[in-house]
Structure 1
Amino acid sequence: MKTTRRGIFKAIGGAAVLASAAAPLFAQAAAAASGNAGNLLKVRLLLNGGISGPHAFFCLAHERGYFRNAGLDVEFSPGDGAASVVTRIVQEGYDGGYGDMNALIKLAALKPKNCPTAVHIAFNTTPLTIGVRKGGPIKDVKDLKDKVIIGHPIDAAIEAFPPYAKLGGIDPNDVHILRSNASMAANAKEVVDGNVDGVFGFVNTIIAALRSIDIDGRETLDFLEFQDLVPEFYGNALMMTPDFIANNPEAVKGLVAAVNRGIIETFKDPEAALDAVAKMAPKFRREVDGPRLMGTLRVEMAHPEGAIHGIGDADDKRIARSISLMVDACRLPRTPKAEAIFTRAFLPPLEERAKPVKV
């Protein structure tokens, strides 16, 4: 039986909140984990959100000194979405970030100069979705025609929507996208209240946001998941700027090795990984972050491809297909080369890479 996020998040029950995005605490946790950071290379990474369960492998790598052993003092900063990470990395002077692969393809097609490159792909399945009212008229993609779907101005699901819509048999321009700066909770509530027809996002993010205002997203929404129509798409990846890669190739290799080891140990002992998250996320709640982590391990990081290439790597044909789909559907001005989007040059040997494990 196929594991789905819908099944996994039944475990969340009646309590779900979003993890805090307190940047100063991230820095304090990083400093505590790294000891004497004076002799270490500082690496500033922008995350796709505040520290939460799905970031457990980063936290575990910090706590166990994997970054420090690689000569790195890694500082995490909270982001505001997997798509916006991609543009903010260079604009705000970060060395790298953890963001969406499809948004990276789009940026590389539009503004190739100084565009980051993915060096480790953590999600070999895309988590993008559209939440719609449970039992409502929207059952599949074709039902989205002439409907109003709300989302954050730079949302990964909005960025990747055109290929999803086209493969579903509709013109993406026939769907009305309402870009809103309101919180995810407020946007999702607009769907529940019937004011709009759907909301872009991640399943777990939408559910957690609604629970923060005492609404059970599992009981009120259904989800149209992009992976069902666009299996070629990857999800979140660790990406670094071209300058950092060129100037610090050994640091990139050490960073990727530490992340890889963090993933291996997280699969081996999710509870220990959650303990590490608790030390970095001020509003950590195990009953929430636990299911979110398990969902990540069982879905986003569990594609069969991972057993072949290892988590972090990608299939070249799949990358090329993702690029082609994004360029065609989004009418992008150029087609980036696959090597500009992703390089496996810094991955550990195949036998040392993390592999999906049933948890």
Structure 2
Amino acid sequence: MFNRLISAAFAASLAISATTGGAQADTDMPFALDWKFEGPAAPYFLAIDEGYFSDAGLTVEISEGKGSLDAIPKVATGAFPVGFADINSLMRFKDQNPDAPVTAVMMVYDKPPFSVVGRKSLGVEAPKDLEGTVLGAPPPDGAWAQFPIFAAENDLDMEAITVEPVGFPTREPMLAEGKVASVTGFSFSSTLNLKRLGVPEDDISVILMADHGVELYGNAIIVNTDFAAENPEAVTGFLTAIARGWKGAIADPSGAITSLIERNPAADADLETERLQMAIDANVLTDYVAENGIGGIDPARMDAAIEQTKSVYEFTNEPDAALYFDDSYLPDAGSRMLE
């Protein structure tokens, strides 16, 4: 059923690559991000400017997103061949749309940035502090999507938490103004947005869900599986360039931010450099990635993540990690080492 719905959209997308012969020169691979052109997106622009995509025979145009879930339907319908999205949301999407031709092929946020960011002056420093307060949560937010797991792991009384649906543009301003006591979001996004709004750093509390019982993975590169089957070398070339972009950004964060600022001149270079460094330190360059390279997953951990998801989400179909992550397009581990 799903394939019938997307056939027209995907036929248009295949036309992009039909004359390119897979990974030959000039294969167009538009890339759908999860969010705005901020610090953590810099490695992808660096990969463009340094010729990493063109080295693989690819032409890549990057588009902004509207949240961690945003790229999933874009890639599933074939509007984009590749995107960047929360693998946990992908898991639920695939359960609800089993025929959808989309899967993750490269893990980027080995430790997810899902967090609750609060203000100490409003009484929020630890998970239990959320009870009796107002929590601002954008409905399409990846962190909010995982909040039920976080709540269960920390024995939170959801009846004691007032959840206020907020928009992404108003999330941090509402917290800065004291209209909510905390918000769900990515740690590096909400924290630095609050600093930009004038909230003192020592008044900001960051409750990282991964440090409080949540065993999930984070955002990954996702691909339209029909496109990947037709263009396997292009997908591997794309992932190779992504790894090179992150390696370059880790070696020289300020240089990577230069590539970002060219696309977003209104951004604060110092702030975005700090945001990128936060993502590198907390989410990308973990001990696992330092040892094994970026992109892969630990099967046992993935199984544990599925089990944890089952505790708060009732699957319609039997969950299987192979449906949500395919490592067959990854380049060799040596090409994915970041240091």
TM-score bracket for the superposition, by shorter chain length? 0.7 to 0.9
Letter of the 1:63 counterpart: D
For structure 1, which segment, 92-101 or 139-148, has the greater mean C-alpha deviation from structure 2 after superposition? 139-148
Structure 2 equivalent of residue 179 of structure 1: 165
1:300-339 paired onto structure 2 within 5 Å? 300-339=283-322
Query: Any stretches of 5+ residues in structure 2 without a counterpart?
Result: 1-23
Structure 1 equivalent of residue 141 of structure 2: 155
Deviations along 1:31-63, one digit per CA (max 9) or x if unpaired, are: xxxxxxx95111121101222221121111101
Residue among 54, 67, 70 paired with 1:68 = 54
Task: Tell me: CA distance 1:175–1:88, structure 2 relative to 1, closer, same or farther (3 Å).
Answer: farther
**Are 1:191 and 2:170 an aligned pair?**
no
1:1-359 paired onto structure 2 within 5 Å? 40-91=26-77, 93-145=79-131, 147-170=133-156, 172=158, 175-181=161-167, 183=169, 186-212=170-196, 214-216=197-199, 218-230=201-213, 232-355=215-338, 357=339
Letter of the 2:143 counterpart: A
For structure 1, which segment, 73-82 or 102-111, has the greater mean C-alpha deviation from structure 2 after superposition? 102-111
Residues 115 and 206 in structure 2, CA contact (< 8 A), matched pair in contact too: yes
Task: Tell me: CA distance 1:87–1:324, structure 2 relative to 1, closer, same or farther (3 Å).
Answer: farther
CA RMSD of aligned residues (A): 2.2
Deviations along 1:149-186, one digit per CA (max 9) or x if unpaired, are: 11222100111111111111135566443222351xx3
CA positional deviation for 1:312 = 0.8
CA positional deviation for 1:279 = 2.1
Task: Tell me: CA distance 1:76–1:140, structure 2 relative to 1, closer, same or farther (3 Å).
Answer: same
Residues 44 and 245 in structure 2, CA contact (< 8 A), matched pair in contact too: yes
CA positional deviation for 1:103 = 1.4
Task: Tell me: CA distance 1:206–1:109, structure 2 relative to 1, closer, same or farther (3 Å).
Answer: same
Give distance in 1, aligned partners of 2:175 and 2:261: 32
Give distance in 1, aligned partners of 2:159 and 2:235: 40
Residues 129 and 157 in structure 1, CA contact (< 8 A), matched pair in contact too: yes
CA positional deviation for 1:90 = 2.8
Structure 1 equivalent of residue 18 of structure 2: none
Residues 141 and 185 in structure 2, CA contact (< 8 A), matched pair in contact too: yes
Give distance in 2, aligned partners of 1:251 and 1:108: 24
Residues 240 and 335 in structure 2, CA contact (< 8 A), matched pair in contact too: no
Residues 84 and 222 in structure 2, CA contact (< 8 A), matched pair in contact too: yes
Give distance in 1, aligned partners of 2:140 and 2:321: 23
Give distance in 2, aligned partners of 1:235 and 1:105: 12
Residues 96 and 116 in structure 1, CA contact (< 8 A), matched pair in contact too: no
* Local SS of the residue matching 1:330: coil
* Runs of 4+ displaced beyond 6 Å: none
TM-score normalised by L of structure 2 = 0.85
Give distance in 1, aligned partners of 2:254 and 2:168: 34
Structure 1 equivalent of residue 8 of structure 2: none
Give distance in 1, aligned partners of 2:316 and 2:198: 42
Give distance in 1, aligned partners of 2:118 and 2:252: 35
Letter of the 1:317 counterpart: A
Residues 326 and 332 in structure 1, CA contact (< 8 A), matched pair in contact too: no
For structure 1, which segment, 315-324 or 165-174, has the greater mean C-alpha deviation from structure 2 after superposition? 165-174
Give distance in 1, aligned partners of 2:101 and 2:172: 32
CA positional deviation for 1:194 = 3.6
* Local SS of the residue matching 1:160: helix
Residues 84 and 155 in structure 1, CA contact (< 8 A), matched pair in contact too: no
CA positional deviation for 1:245 = 1.4
The sequence identity of aligned pairs, in percent, is 26
Task: Tell me: CA distance 1:308–1:182, structure 2 relative to 1, closer, same or farther (3 Å).
Answer: closer
* Local SS of the residue matching 1:130: strand
* Paired positions, count: 316
Deviations along 1:106-131, one digit per CA (max 9) or x if unpaired, are: 21222222152111111111111112
Task: Tell me: CA distance 1:115–1:229, structure 2 relative to 1, closer, same or farther (3 Å).
Answer: farther
Give distance in 2, aligned partners of 1:87 and 1:173: 32
Task: Tell me: CA distance 1:101–1:272, structure 2 relative to 1, closer, same or farther (3 Å).
Answer: same
Letter of the 1:206 counterpart: S
Task: Tell me: CA distance 1:250–1:316, structure 2 relative to 1, closer, same or farther (3 Å).
Answer: same
CA positional deviation for 1:211 = 4.5
Give distance in 1, aligned partners of 2:259 and 2:123: 43
Residues 33 and 83 in structure 2, CA contact (< 8 A), matched pair in contact too: yes
